[in-house]
A and B are shown apart, each in its own frame.
Chain A
Amino acid sequence: MEFKGIKQTAKALANKDISVQELHDMYLQRQKKHAGDLNCFINDTSALAKNQIQVAQKRINDNQSSLLTGIPLVHKDLFCTQDIHTTCGSRMLENFVAPYDATIVKNLNNAGTVTMAKANMDEFAMGSSNENSYFGAVKNPWNHSRVPGGSSGGSAVAVAAGLVPIATGSDTGGSIRQPAALCGVTGIKPTYGRASRYGMVAFASSLDQAGVFARSAQDCAYVLSDMCEFDNKDSTSAQVEKEDFSVSLGQSIKGLKVGVIPEWMDSLPESIKLTTEKSIQKLVDLGAELIEINLPTAHLAVSAYYVIAPAECSSNLSRFDGIRYGHKCENPLDLNDLYVRSRTEGFGEEVKRRIMVGTWALSAGFYDAYYRKAQKIRRLISEDFANAFDKVDIIAGPVAPEVAFEFNAKKDPVSMYKEDIYTIPSSLAGLPCLSMPIGLVDDLPVGLQLIGNKLQEAKILNVAHQYQQDTTFHKLVAEGYHE
Chain B
Amino acid sequence: MSDIQWETVIGLEIHTQLKTKSKLFAGTDTTYGASPNSQVSLLEAAVPGTLPVFNEKVLRYAIRFGLAVGAKVIAKESRFDRKNYFYPDSPKGYQITQLNHPIVEHGLLAIQGDDGKQKKIRINRAHIEEDAGKSVHDKYAEFSGIDLNRCGTPLIEIVSEPDLSSAKEAVAYMKEIHTIVTHLGICDGNMQEGSFRCDANVSIRPKGQQKLGTRTELKNINSFRFVEKAINLEVKRQIKVIESGQKVVQETRLYDADKHETRSMRSKEEANDYRYFPDPDLLPVHIDQAYIDNEKQFIPEFPAAKIQRYVEDLGIKTDDANTIANGKELSLFFDDTVALLKQAKAISVANMLLGEYSALLKAKDTGFESQPIKASQLSGLLDELALGNISHKISKVVLEKLWNSDLTATTIIKQEGLAQVSDSSELEAIVKDLISKNQSQFQEYKEGNMKMFNFFVGQVMKGTKGRANPAQVKSILEKL
Binary B-proximity of A76-102 (CB < 8 A = 1, otherwise 0): 000110000010100001001011101
Task: Flag A194-213 by CB within 8 Å of B: 1 or 0 each.
Answer: 00011111101110000000
How many residues on the A side are at the interface (Cβ–Cβ under 8 A)?
A: 43
Residue of A nearest to B85 (CB): A318
Query: Is B84 part of the binding interface, using a Cβ–Cβ cutoff of 8 Å?
Result: yes
Q: Contact at B93–A201, with CB atoms within 8 Å?
A: no
- Is the CB–CB distance between B51 and A321 below 8 Å? no
Q: Which residue of A lies closest to B273 (CB)?
A: A364
Question: What is the bound-complex CA distance between A234 and B51, given in angstroms?
Answer: 6
Contact between B280 and A318 (Cβ–Cβ < 8 Å)?
no
Chain B residues with CB under 8 Å of A363's CB are: 273, 275
0/1 string, B266-306, CB within 8 A of A gives 1: 00000001011100111100000000000000000000000
Question: In B63-100, which residues have CB < 8 Å from any A CB?
Answer: 82, 84, 86, 88, 91-94
Contacts of B52 in A (CB 8 A): 235
Which of B48, B53, B88 contacts A96 (CB under 8 A)? B48
Q: How far is the CA of A235 from the CA of B51 in the complex (A)?
A: 8
CB < 8 Å neighbour of A98 from B49, B51, B53, B86: B49
State the main secondary structure of chain B at its contact with A.
Answer: loop
Check if A86 sits within 8 Å of B93, measured CB to CB: no
In the complex, are the beta carbons of B45 and A324 less than 8 A apart? yes
Check B42 for interface membership: any CB of A closer than 8 A: yes
A27 within 8 A of B: no
Which residues of A333-372 have CB atoms within 8 Å of chain B's CB atoms?
335, 339, 359, 362-364, 367, 371
Nearest-Cβ distance from residue B191 to partner chain A, whole angstroms: 29
**Given that A319-B92, A359-B275, A371-B277 are known contacts, is A200 also in contact with B49, CB under 8 Å in the complex?**
yes
Structural contact, B275 and A362, CB atoms closer than 8 A: yes
How long is the Cα–Cα vector from A73 to B273 in the complex, in angstroms? Answer: 44
Task: Indicate whether B407 reaches chain A with its CB closer than 8 angstroms.
Answer: no
Q: How far is the CA of A363 from the CA of B47 in the complex (A)?
A: 26
Q: Are B277's CB and A311's CB within 8 A?
A: yes
Q: Judge whether B48 and A315 touch: CB under 8 Å.
A: no
- Taking a contact as CB atoms under 8 Å apart, the answer to whether B88 and A335 are in contact is yes
Report the bound CA distance from A219 to B273 in whole Å: 48
Cβ of A21 within 8 Å of any chain B Cβ, yes or no, is no
Does B403 sit at the interface, judged by CB under 8 A? no
Contact flags B88-128 to A (C-beta < 8 A → 1, else 0)? 10011110000000000000000000000000000000000
Tell whether A321 pairs with B275 under 8 Å between CB atoms, given A86-B48, A98-B49: no
Q: Which residue of A lies closest to B80 (CB)?
A: A235
| Residue A226 lies at the interface, judged by CB distance under 8 Å to chain B | no
Within 8 A of B (CB), among A201-244: 201-202, 204-206, 232-236
Do A235 and B53 have beta carbons less than 8 Å apart?
yes
Q: Cβ of A318 and Cβ of B86 under 8 Å apart?
A: yes
Residues in B neighbouring A232, C-beta threshold 8 A? 53
Q: Is B46 an interface residue (CB 8 A)?
A: yes
Residues of A within 8 A of B82 (CB): 315
Using Cβ atoms and an 8 Å threshold, which residues of chain B touch A86? 48-49
Inside 8 A of A233's CB, which chain B residues have their CB?
51, 53
Quick one: CB contact mask for A361-386 with B, threshold 8 Å, 1 for yes? 01110010001000000000000000
Q: B54 contacts the other chain (Cβ, under 8 Å)?
A: yes
When the two chains form the complex, which single residue of B48, B281, B283 contacts A80, counting CB atoms closer than 8 Å? B48
Contact pick for B48, options A93, A362, A364, CB 8 Å: A93
The CA-CA distance from A472 to B339 in the complex, in Å, is 85
Q: Which residues of A contact B405 (CB under 8 A)?
A: none
**A371–B275 Cα gap in the complex (Å)?**
11
A315 near B53: Cβ-Cβ < 8 Å = no
The answer to whether B351 has its CB under 8 Å from any CB of chain A is no
Q: How far is the CA of A314 from the CA of B281 in the complex (A)?
A: 14
Cβ of A202: which chain B residues have Cβ within 8 Å of it?
48-49, 281
Q: Are B48 and A319 in contact (CB under 8 A)?
A: yes
Question: Are B93 and A315 in touch, CB under 8 angstroms?
Answer: yes
A323 at interface (Cβ–Cβ under 8 A)?
yes
Q: Bound complex: CA of A325 vs CA of B53, how far in Å?
A: 23
**Given A236-B281, A362-B277, A371-B277, is A319 in contact with B46 using a C-beta cutoff of 8 Å?**
yes
Smallest CB separation, B364 vs chain A (Å)? 48
What are 25 residue pairs bridging A and B, where the CB atoms are less than 8 Å apart in the complex? A80-B49, A88-B48, A93-B48, A100-B47, A100-B49, A197-B49, A197-B51, A198-B51, A199-B50, A202-B281, A234-B51, A311-B277, A315-B277, A318-B84, A319-B46, A319-B48, A319-B91, A319-B92, A321-B91, A324-B45, A325-B47, A359-B275, A362-B277, A363-B273, A364-B275
Q: Which residues of A contact B (CB under 8 A)?
A: 79-80, 86, 88, 93, 96, 98-100, 102, 197-202, 204-206, 232-236, 311-312, 314-315, 317-319, 321, 323-325, 335, 339, 359, 362-364, 367, 371
